Structure 1
């Protein structure tokens, strides 16, 4: 049990209810409060226009419409959700393209052990508004289409196998996916003001070709969606007591908990599958001087359990939420107020972070920029 869940368990033992918030002035439970970052204050913007804590550096990995350095592959427009996959002693970063009208898809960049780019290539094309998604334990990337007729596509980060549309996972405004290895399900968010929080139960774990789509209700039960294709009735209209979430965005699973964000009300949620409880990790209405707004993509580090949440809007920050429930800016991108941050992910070692500014300095999807951050990310709660 990591510290975040230890703290929650301690509060539960003290008699709080499933939706209990902080019970002491030291905030030993959700929701997170504004406080100092474990990395210290942000420094002046570097040459790439990024404000970072001391010891961290940035570099540009790719720009939309330009060949990725050391390759002949032109980077896609509107870069969005992403993830990293181990590749021998190196790794691969995959990135969605949220371009519309069949111009979307997924690209990949391969790095060696020294973080040198060795290749870049396409692993999905011809799709529409590929927004977020999620990695699977069997090393594929689920890329999600964000429109009313959107599907999930299972892709191969190495580009050796053709991408496959996974119809059983439903047809709706998909946003993100997060795999629960214990219960063998995939959680799915929906980017609608009256969206649902779904889970897909594969008939066979490791095979997404068939299974059951379910949605969470107000009673925190899971009810089957009878028509995952949503024709003629949308999936979110099929269960009368479906619990409504205002604009589902990123999702990340860790240690029995699926963390996910809702942009319509600037909240970060935690669904604990082991205890079947739902908590609000962060709510800007319950936080003084809230540093985080326009919540979007979310990930966690591989060491201490810090959550990192990217902003769509706000002041273009990626904020950290620590296991002791403090929220603070980790970085800020300057002079890109018409963009959004997305695709936040760590390499397997946890010492490099990747993310994109979807519309870059020009405020256009054709000017997207993908970055790498390198530095002393925490390996313990004391450093």
Structure 2
């Protein structure tokens, strides 16, 4: 996410309770009262994390028993090709190569930036954008120390988040709708690209079948037949999408060739249905009064997914789909997929009439039941909007962004709030606790991802661009 929201202070009603990620703020009448509850695995619970301890180095506050190692630092650590580590770290995935961890990391950078991703032969999509967005690949030893960093893809713009694939690659998302202008952009942007971790394979080919819009993140389902994608956009608010393969098709490591065809498979947008069977126009019509209540979902075909003349989200009218302010992080499990809405500000032109301002929502879409549930809710809170006055407030949270599922099934959220930013531990339907606080500046956290062995949580401070490896007794609190 690239919007500088934390500089805006707003008069808000209500306040979040300490350590609680939701509160009742009023019901929406007659929505899904009779919708059947889906069958799913029980959501996990976990112990509260103890209060955070300030870092004498002024970088990262952590609970007792936890420590961090700096993996990369923009402008200070170096790529194998000799250039400095690019800035604005964002969505990240962790893999293993046997002896080491391997991270694939987005850099949410625009065109011709001094600390952009350098264009390395074979990795370049659009030479016109110069040193810009893209992905780097980072090899990290078991102690969190960097062993090397190199370019996975370059020549892309504002790579925000994305998602890992079952075959061990990363799909990176451009959060833009910029079209070619013949000078600084030789190609259209707003696509998904697949990135490999081996340092040798690169196919900088846009996956046009997944649409051209302000992508945020995505997840591939267990069956390898669907991809779920979020859109971070406004005017009008963005949508949540599902790509489906042709009958009998299974996604694989060679699917990038098929997905390069804009007409391959189908792309649809989500509609959350009320009791009357009609789409709820915006997720902000729902509040904590609907927490854990399942809603039926319909999927509406996108007419022109390459947005040749009209943005994808503008092709679908409000009576057909459900919009949301800042659809952000996405993470898939065997049962379904989580998707985050960061906030909806009171008084904003993007907040529909009669809708309820909020400071964050997390949803869970159940594949089998074809329903969606609100599982975490942050009510709009004046205490979370105090900016510098709330610098060390570890209890009032707002604006979740990236999301990951821990090896034990609970959630970790990266906060991008008005006050100090946190890494949060959240139980769906239950409490939320701070597990880290940015003491360096007011930058957001991005890209939380656990190593497969559950020993290390990797997370980034987006500005200037610092990757951290956090270790400690995770199982004691999350297991």
Question: What TM-score do the two structures reach when normalised by structure 1?
Answer: 0.83
- Whether 2:474 is the aligned partner of 1:374: answer no
In structure 1, stretches of 5+ residues that fail to align are 1-14, 21-27, 360-366
Structure 2 Cα separation of the partners of residues 242 and 353 of structure 1 = 36
Q: Which has the higher strand share?
A: 1
Structure 1 Cα separation of the partners of residues 424 and 381 of structure 2 = 14
- Whether 2:260 is the aligned partner of 1:217: answer no
Q: Which residue of 1 aligns with 2:426?
A: 321
Structure 1 Cα separation of the partners of residues 329 and 82 of structure 2 = 31
Structure 1 Cα separation of the partners of residues 404 and 36 of structure 2 = 23
Count, aligned residues: 348
SS, match of residue 232 in structure 1: coil
Q: Any residues of structure 2 matched to 1:196-275 within 5 Å, and which?
A: 196-203=239-246, 204=249, 205-206=251-252, 207-208=255-256, 209=259, 210-219=264-273, 220-240=297-317, 241-265=320-344, 266-275=360-369
Q: Which residue of 2 aligns with 1:96?
A: 106
Deviation by residue 1:57-115 (Cα, 9 ceiling, x = unmatched): 01111111122499955211111111111212322011101010230000011124454
Q: Match for 1:133 among 156, 162, 165?
A: 162
Q: Which residue of 2 aligns with 1:78?
A: 88
Q: Which residue of 2 aligns with 1:356?
A: 460
Give the drift of 1:379. Answer: 6.6
| Larger-gyration structure (1/2) | 2
SS, match of residue 474 in structure 2: coil
* Change beyond 3 A, Cα 1:114–1:320: closer
| Bigger relative contact order (CA 8 A; separation at least 6) | 2
Q: Which residue of 2 aligns with 1:279?
A: 373
Structure 2 Cα separation of the partners of residues 89 and 183 of structure 1 = 28
Give the drift of 1:228. Answer: 0.8
Contact 2:80 2:150 in 1 (8 A): no
SS, match of residue 330 in structure 2: strand
Give the drift of 1:129. Answer: 0.3
- Whether 2:162 is the aligned partner of 1:58: answer no
Q: Any residues of structure 2 matched to 1:142-157 within 5 Å, and which?
A: 142-149=171-178, 150-157=190-197
Structure 2 Cα separation of the partners of residues 70 and 126 of structure 1 = 18
Deviation by residue 1:5-49 (Cα, 9 ceiling, x = unmatched): xxxxxxxxxx975598xxxxxxx989x9xxx96332212224252
* Change beyond 3 A, Cα 1:79–1:286: closer
SS, match of residue 447 in structure 2: strand
- Whether 2:238 is the aligned partner of 1:195: answer yes
Q: Which residue of 2 aligns with 1:344?
A: 448
SS, match of residue 164 in structure 1: coil
In structure 2, stretches of 5+ residues that fail to align are 1-31, 112-128, 179-189, 274-296, 345-359, 384-394
Deviation by residue 1:190-223 (Cα, 9 ceiling, x = unmatched): 0013111001123432214232211112331112
* Change beyond 3 A, Cα 1:67–1:234: same
SS, match of residue 246 in structure 1: coil
Question: What TM-score do the two structures reach when normalised by structure 2?
Answer: 0.67
Deviation by residue 1:215-272 (Cα, 9 ceiling, x = unmatched): 1123311122121101212211223311111111111111322111111331111111
Q: Which residue of 1 aligns with 2:439?
A: 334
Structure 1 Cα separation of the partners of residues 72 and 445 of structure 2 = 15
SS, match of residue 52 in structure 2: coil
SS, match of residue 171 in structure 2: strand
Contact 2:376 2:429 in 1 (8 A): no
SS, match of residue 272 in structure 2: coil
